Amino acid sequence: MQDSMNFTQIFDALKKSWKFILGLTLLFALIAAAISYFLLTPIYKSEATLLVNQETRTSKSNDAVDLQTNLQSITTYASIAKLPDTLLPVIDKLNLNVLPEELAKDIDATAVQNSTLLTITVENPSQKRAVDIANEIAKTMVEKNSLELNNLKIASKARVIRNADPVEPTPLINIGIGAMLGLLLSLAYVLAKALMDVSLKTSEQVEREIGVSVIGNIPFIK
């Protein structure tokens, strides 16, 4: 019985099964394409940007201290953006049929590096709905802040972009993954089948496996 395969045997096995390998690779790529274009729901992303600014300054104010205070404020506001107290007015204003906890999963609030800007990102199957939610969150935060610190304002509103591409799914990546999966599965099947094939097909295999010389061949007759 063969315990291993040399490079030539592996190459021969792959060469004989190239149609199967190609076919399975294309099949998995087509399945991935069908899922990406017809089954998965497109997800769109919209962003609104807030500016955090320390309004109250004195003649002895230190710019470095003010900047550090602003950066700390951004972290706080990033958390506030996803709180129920912020999202409930948004849900009521837009008549959303969703709980604050569920809506928070589609929201991300992050600080823009080396700045005092806070970006509110919303993902939704509807681009317009994502825009409305992002802008309403920004508006709600500014209105609440104006009653207290008054150091928050809208720097940039989210806008509807015509013919915008969804952020999910990514068909080309999915197709590539599907093709790679089909290729790996087909290669594994072909090599496993070749390893389990214990039949001796050539005189060289007979001599190597049994250890005796072949003194004659019987030709194959169709």
Q: Are 144 and 126 part of one and the same domain?
A: yes
Gap between the Cα atoms of 31 and 27, Å rounded: 6
Per residue in 113-149, pLDDT (tens digit) is 888 899 999 999 999 999 999 999 999 999 998 877 7
Gap between the Cα atoms of 3 and 115, Å rounded: 64
Q: Is residue 162 part of a domain?
A: no
pTM of the model: 0.74
Gap between the Cα atoms of 104 and 47, Å rounded: 15
**CATH code where residue 85 lies:** 3.30.70.1130
Q: Are 152 and 180 part of one and the same domain?
A: no
Whether residue 91 is predicted with pLDDT greater than 60 in this model: the reply is yes
Per residue in 106-115, pLDDT (tens digit) is 999 999 988 8
200-211 burial by CB neighbour count: b if 16+ within 10 A, else e? eeeeeeeeeeee
Whether residue 47 is predicted with pLDDT greater than 60 in this model: the reply is yes
Range of the domain at 21: 7-39+170-210
Q: Are 15 and 84 part of one and the same domain?
A: no
Burial of 7 (0-12, 13-18, 19+ CB in 10 A): exposed
Sheet (strand 152-156) strand order: 107-111, 117-124, 44-52, 152-156
How many structural domains does the chain have? 2
Q: Which residue has the higher pLDDT, 161 or 63?
A: 161
Question: How many Å is the Cα radius of gyration of the chain?
Answer: 32
Annotate 51-117 with DSSP letters as a single string. EE------TT--HHHHHHHHHHHHHHHHHHTTSHHHHHHHHHHHT--S-HHHHHTTEEEEEPTTSSE
Q: Is residue 217 part of a domain?
A: no
Q: Is residue 222 part of a domain?
A: no
Token readout for 3 is 């315990």
